Amino acid sequence: MVQLVEVSINAREFSEQLYKAVDSLSAEGVGAFLTPNVRFQLGNFDEIVGYDAVVEANRAFFQSIVAMSHTIKDAWTVDENVICTGYVHYTRHDKSTLQIPFSAVLKLKDNLISDYQVYVDVSPL
pLDDT at 41: 97
Mean pLDDT of all residues in the chain? 93
For residue 51, being part of any structural domain is answered with yes
pLDDT reading at 17 higher than 90:
yes
Q: What is the domain count for the chain? A: 1
pLDDT at position 118 over 90: yes
pLDDT for residue 123 = 87
Instruction: Provide φ and ψ at 28, rounded to 5°.
Output: -70, -35
- Whether residue 20 lies inside any domain: the answer is yes
Does 34 reside within a domain?
Answer: yes
pLDDT digits (tens, 9 = 90+) for 87-105: 999 999 999 999 999 999 9
Helix (H, G, I), strand (E, B) or coil at 113: strand
How do residues 32-85 score in pLDDT, each as one tens digit? 999 999 999 999 999 999 999 999 999 999 999 999 999 999 999 998 899 999
Model pLDDT, residue 124: 86
* CATH of residue 17: 3.10.450.50
pLDDT at 115 over 60: yes
CB atoms within 10 A of CB 60: 10
Q: Is residue 24 part of a domain?
A: yes
> Can you give the residue range of the structural domain that contains 87?
11-119
Please, are residues 37 and 47 in contact by the beta-carbon 8 Å criterion? no
- Residue 105 and residue 80 in contact, taking contact as beta carbons nearer than 8 Å: no
